[in-house]
A and B are shown apart, each in its own frame.
Chain A
Amino acid sequence: MAADFIPYMERTRLYYRAQGFTRDYVWATHDDTPFHTLKKPLNTCRVTLITTAVAHPEIPKPVRKAESIPFSEVPDSFLTDELSWDKETTHTDDRESYFPIESLTALIDDGVIGSLADRFHFIPTQYSHRATIDEDAPAIARACIEDDVDVALLVPI
Chain B
Amino acid sequence: MTIVIGSAMDIVTHCKVPRYLHNDLPLGNPLGAPDDRASHRYSLLKAFAMTDATSPLVTVSDLRWPGDPDWKSVYNRIDDSNRDQLLKMGEENRRKRAENKAQGLTR
Contacts and interface: CB of A to CB of B under 8 A. Distances in A.
A103 B10 contact: no
A143 interface: no
Nearest to B38: A103
Nearest to B83: A18
Query: What's the dominant secondary structure at chain A's contact region?
Result: loop
Max chain B CB contacts within 10 Å: which of A12, A107, A151?
A: A151
Nearest to B60: A3
A60 B75 CA distance: 26
Max chain B CB contacts within 10 Å: which of A3, A6, A88, A94?
A: A6
Contacts of A30: 15-16
Contacts of B90: 16, 18-21
A80 B27 CA distance: 11
A18 B86 contact: yes
B107 A27 contact: no
Nearest to B34: A94
Given A36-B18, A153-B3, A97 B29 contact: yes
B81 interface: no
Interface residues of A, number: 69
Contacts of B60: 3
A90 B41 contact: no
5 contacts: A8-B27, A16-B90, A33-B17, A98-B28, A154-B2
Interface of B: 1-6, 8-11, 14-18, 22, 24, 26-37, 40-41, 43-45, 47-48, 51-56, 60, 65, 67-68, 71-72, 74-76, 78, 83, 86-87, 89-91, 93-94, 100, 105-107
Interface of A: 3-12, 14-16, 18-21, 27-30, 32-38, 42, 45, 60, 62-63, 65, 80, 84-94, 96-98, 100, 102-104, 106-107, 112-113, 126, 128, 131, 135, 150-157
